[in-house]
Amino acid sequence: MSPLTVMNACGPARPVEADLVVTGAGELLTCPADGKGIGLVVGGAVAAKDGRVVWVGPSKQVQRRVSLADGAAVVDAGGRVVMPGLVECHTHLIFAGDRSAEFQARVAGASYQEVALAGGGIASTVRATRAATDEELRSLALGRLTRLLSLGVTTVEAKSGYGLSPEQELRILELYAQLAALHPVDVIPTLLAAHALPDAYRGRPEVFVDLVTTEMIPAVAARGVARFCDVFCEKGAFTADQCRSVLAAGAQYGLKPKLHADQLSEGGGAALAVEMGAVSADHLDYVSDLGIAALAGSGVTAVLLPGAAFFLGTDQLAPARRLLDSGVRVALSTDLNPGSSPTENLWLMATMGCCALHMTAAEVIRAITCEAARALALEKEVGSLEVGKKADILILESRKHTEIPYHYGINPVEQVFKAGRCVSVRGKETEVRPCA
Ligand code: NIG
Ligand code: FE
């Protein structure tokens, strides 16, 4: 009897029933949420039933350990890497307009803050987003979701923040609820009302903060359309005290805190994240030694967004190594947004994690799967191929995990399964259909 055979009182365990089996992986990466490393099973297989993982083990044990339900699909990964669907834990998914002219101004030497002061930046996206119809915003976001899915993303966090009025912020969050119903990718909504001070409140930030805390947060909570409350803690955006008020009000209404922290300057964002018991502190390019010490052992996940630093052309990079070496859990994300990071490609962030942040292949793979899930408090549901979790499964073109950050700028995804159903093959089909 193999040492992996589980005994029960009557002998070897009965085979577990499955409606999907992905077998023949060269490397199966389970990405264990509570462990370390990528949980590599050479020659592995994964079985699922009703959208959940029911068994993981060596392919040679499948016949003995798994029984097939009627109509079950068995997919041979042909020696490729099989891993969890990616978790994209920080995006600004709904926005209209484009800022390619602003990009060219920055390429010519203008800074992100200078562009913003000249009326561009977040404010220009707010104008374009407010002017767009629901139909336009839905179709723009659906296009982005489809691109994300073809790149292997099966769960995406999506922030509001380009509405900045009670009606407009609510409109964006309601659209996220519609998108979640229309598209196979799970959409996790976040209220980011304190993203920028609207022009109408110039010189009166406390009045806007009051509007956020007393009107927007209660309205959003009453509609049940957000899970998290985020703030932009930065010079020119909101002070740590203002962010504290917003996050505290959000928490009172059941919205867990998240922060854009220490992105363009050190502003005490990391310490505030710890103080508020945030699920994540995001960016951290300028985090101080004290901030790192506060994050260590706090349970706050650091979400690093190297694409934003790259696209803004800043030399200041988040101290990923020091964070990891202090025991902080580190996730990576694109920050998908029109100003600082217009990309859906999380694989590229994995490569930047290695090249710019000196993370290992194993660390970046965890950072876009199980650690990203933890940054959304979803580590018990997604981001790992473990029994009981969602059967969000990728078959890659790559044959070993070290190729993932190495062969960069491409889409390595062959096939995507969302909750046990094949939803994308080589980026072509995106509608839910039975597995081949
Ligand atoms: O995460 N920092 C704030 N928000 C975005 C940028 C938004 C924009 O420029 O439109 C970010 O980088
Ligand atoms: Fe962001």
Pocket test for ligand 1, best of 88, 90, 92 (most atoms within 8 A of CB): 92
Residue 68 lies in a domain: yes
pLDDT, tens digit (0-9, with 9 covering 90-100), for 89-130: 999 999 999 999 999 999 999 999 899 888 899 999 999 999
Give yes or no: residues 212 and 361 share one domain: yes
Give yes or no: residues 121 and 144 share one domain: yes
Minimum CA distance residue for ligand 1 atom 11: 340
Nearest ligand, CA 126: 1
Q: What is the pLDDT of residue 113?
A: 87
Residue 302 lies in a domain: yes
Q: What is the pLDDT of residue 434?
A: 41
Q: How many CB atoms lie within 10 A of CB 358?
A: 13
Residue 222 lies in a domain: yes
Give yes or no: residues 173 and 205 share one domain: yes
Average pLDDT, the chain: 95
CATH code of the domain covering residue 296: 3.20.20.140
Angle at the Cα of 404 (from 397 to 406), degrees rounded to 5? 115
**Does residue 432 have a pLDDT over 60?**
no
Work out how many domains the chain is built from and give that number.
Answer: 2
Report the separation in Å between the CA atom of 429 and the middle of ligand 2, taken as the mean of its atom positions. 29
- Mean pLDDT within 139-151: 97
Residue 433 lies in a domain: no
CATH code of the domain covering residue 51: 2.30.40.10
Residue 379 lies in a domain: no
- Whole-angstrom distance, CA of residue 299 vs CA of residue 114: 36
Residue 200 lies in a domain: yes
Minimum CA distance residue for ligand 1 atom 9: 339
Q: Return the amino acid letter for 372.
A: A
Ligand 1 pocket by Cβ (under 6 Å): 92, 121-122, 125, 232, 260, 263, 308, 335, 337-340
Cβ neighbours of residue 321 closer than 8 Å, sequence gap 6 or more: 357, 358, 359
Give yes or no: residues 34 and 157 share one domain: no
Give yes or no: residues 177 and 218 share one domain: yes
230: enclosing H helix or E strand: strand 228-233
Give yes or no: residues 99 and 70 share one domain: no
Report the separation in Å between the CA atom of 192 and the middle of ligand 2, taken as the mean of its atom positions. 9
Report the separation in Å between the CA atom of 174 and the middle of ligand 2, taken as the mean of its atom positions. 20
Q: What is the pLDDT of residue 6?
A: 45
Rg, C-alpha atoms of the chain: 22
Report the separation in Å between the CA atom of 324 and the middle of ligand 2, taken as the mean of its atom positions. 21
Burial grade of 159 (CB within 10 A; 0-12, 13-18, 19 or more)? buried
Burial 112-145 (b: 16+ CB within 10 A, else e): beebbeeebbbbbbbebbbebeeeebbebbeebb
Q: Which of 117-121, 298-302, 372-376 has the lowest mean pLDDT?
A: 117-121
Q: What is the pLDDT of residue 107?
A: 95
Q: What is the pLDDT of residue 13?
A: 74
Give yes or no: residues 255 and 404 share one domain: no
**Does residue 195 have a pLDDT over 90?**
yes
Give yes or no: residues 250 and 331 share one domain: yes
Pocket test for ligand 1, best of 335, 343, 349 (most atoms within 8 A of CB): 335
Give yes or no: residues 36 and 144 share one domain: no
Residue 430 lies in a domain: no
Give yes or no: residues 206 and 279 share one domain: yes
What does the longest C-alpha to C-alpha distance in the chain come to? 75
Residue 258 lies in a domain: yes
Report the separation in Å between the CA atom of 123 and the middle of ligand 2, taken as the mean of its atom positions. 15
Residue-wise DSSP of 38-63: --EEETEEEEEETTEEEEEEEGGGHH
Residue 154: domain span? 86-374
**Does residue 44 have a pLDDT over 50?**
yes
Relative to beta strand 52-58, strand 44-49 is: antiparallel
pLDDT, tens digit (0-9, with 9 covering 90-100), for 302-351: 999 999 999 999 999 999 999 999 999 999 999 999 999 999 999 999 99
Give yes or no: residues 77 and 120 share one domain: no
